[in-house]
Structure 1
Amino acid sequence: MRNRRNNPLRGKPKVAVVVDGETEAWYLTMLNRNEPNAKFQIKPEIPQIKSLSDQFDKVQSLAKDYDTVVWMIDLDVILKETREVKKGQPRPLDEFLKYKGFLDSVSNVTVIINQPCMEFWLLLHFEFTQAPFEDCARAEKRLVKHLTDYVKIQKYYTKEGDAIYLKLKEKLPIAIGRTKKFSEFDPENPDRGHSGMHKFFGILGLS
């Protein structure tokens, strides 16, 4: 186990969340703003370089300073690049699984997978599905059937008094319950719809 330096942050303990996209950062910022009773304050982190190795390094670095670090990762790009990799070359999915296996042994780090992306987590507020999604666009198309005004822009996610988190908060317990129905991520069936967000809300003391 790594030795952690004393956390210099005052007040509530903080959880650093490493994400690879703005969508997750917007959502987490709104969650942080609208959940004053959460046990943690959330600090979204988007690495300057979004490669898997850079995200992995960022998680390890933050784990030295924070009580809890979450690596929240979308699988859509990883699976797309894995499908396209030439025979004999390393597969991005294998690289990710190697990093995940290492981090699973670090006590203050949690890896949370959304397959294909954050929109699948939002979709679970309205329906339960384990259907495979080839990419995020397909999950977004399914989401819009329920959340008809959905637009993947910052203004929609962060609108004062009508932020994405507030829009869905009433359905949050349902969505959390649905993610608990999933087994652990299955590398043999990586395309299957999956979300581990209940782990995140458990860390925050909100589930």
Structure 2
Amino acid sequence: MRNRRNIPLKRKPKVAVVVDGETEAWYLTMLNRNEPNAKFQIKPEIPQRKSLHDQFNKVLSLSDDFDTVVWIVDMDVILKETREVKKGQLRPLDEFLKYKDKLSSITNVSVIINQPCIEFWLLLHFEFTQAPFDDCARAESRLRNHLSDYAKSQKYFTKEGDDIYLKLIERLPTAITYSKRFGGFDLENPDRGNSGMYKLFEILGLS
């Protein structure tokens, strides 16, 4: 009889996703819950400290332990702080671009930008737009044109049988298609709406 202990166990690839807020973590947790047959194991990671430097270091440390690490970055705060930075200080946007460039050489790391925030990705399930959004509140307001009861709360995002992923799953192919239409984050027009979330679904084999 073959020794079963000598047969390597097949495991799902482990994907760590670094985010800076609970909203993204709730969305990813619901993605996990509603895709039980997917060939991946996804783990949302929120650094204890949420500065760009701390997020960058978190991505680096996870890249040694996970098959794939995805850093999802909301640009609203970065752009706001960039507009407010004092002359002579490092602009948060330049700091982020520096980290993004450093990570480009690590083969199992991907950086995904949402401008202004994940609500813009949710909006793409209903419409395509490249309108400027100078903060997340504007994206939330526009999203409520389609999801009138939308609430940035754990209860809304994770309600059993009616969570955020289930609400939108039939429209997911539309959102992925719209997301692919963007040519990446536009440095010349940084406020322009943008989402690279299609990359996450390609990594997970869901697009």
* 1:94 equivalent in structure 2: 94
What residue in structure 1 maps to residue 133 of structure 2?
Answer: 133
2:36 is aligned with 1:62? no
**Partner of 1:146 in structure 2?**
146
Measure the CA separation in 2 of the matches of 1:90 and 1:153: 33
Tell me what 1:3 maps to.
Answer: none
State how far apart, in whole Å, the 2-side matches of 1:183 and 1:163 are: 30
Q: Give the structure-2-normalised TM-score.
A: 0.94
Q: Which has the larger radius of gyration?
A: 2
What is the DSSP-based 3-state SS (H/G/I as helix, E as strand, rest coil) of the residue aligned with 1:137?
A: helix
- Shift in Å, 1:10: 7.3
Aligned to 1:108: 108
Partner residue, 1:4: none
The secondary structure found in structure 2 opposite 1:15 is: strand
Tell me the CA shift for residue 104 of structure 1: 1.4
Match for 1:123: what amino acid? L
Residue identity matched to 2:203: I
Shift of 1:37: 2.8
1:203 paired to 2:203: yes
AA at the equivalent of 2:32: N
- Confirm or deny that 1:29 pairs with 2:35: no
- Residue-by-residue CA offset, 1:67-96 (whole Å, 9 max, x unaligned): 100000100000000000011111000000
Q: Output the aligned Cα RMSD.
A: 1.1
Question: Where does residue 119 of structure 2 map in the other structure?
Answer: 119
Matched, 1:18 2:44: no
Q: CA deviation at 1:11?
A: 2.5
Where structure 1 has 5 or more consecutive residues not aligned to the other structure, the ranges are 1-8
Q: Deviations over 1:150-198 (max 9, x none)?
A: 0110000000000000000000000000000000212222111000000
Aligned residue for 1:73, secondary structure, equals strand
Distance 2:11 2:158 in 1: 25
- The reply to whether residue 79 of structure 1 matches residue 92 of structure 2 is no
CA deviations 1:116-154 (Å, max 9, x no partner) are 000000000000001110000000000001101101100
Q: 2:38 and 2:53 mapped to 1: Cα distance? A: 30
- Point out 4+ residue stretches in structure 1 off by more than 6 angstroms: none
TM-score for the superposition, normalised by structure 1: 0.94
The change in CA–CA distance for 1:10 and 1:26 in structure 2 (over 3 A counts) is: farther
Alignment match, 2:179: 179
Bigger Cα displacement from structure 2, 182-191 vs 87-96:
182-191
Match of 1:20, SS? coil
Q: C-alpha distance in 1, partners of 2:172/2:111? A: 20
Q: How many residues align?
A: 199
Aligned counterpart, 2:47 = 47
**Using a 3 Å threshold, how does the CA distance of structure 1 residues 161 and 44 change in structure 2: closer, same or farther?**
same
Distance between the aligned counterparts of 2:204 and 2:190, measured in 1?
27
Which string of whole-angstrom CA distances, capped at 9 and with x for unpartnered residues, describes residues 23-76 of structure 1? 000000000010123221110000000000000000000000111000001000
- 1:131 counterpart letter in structure 2: A
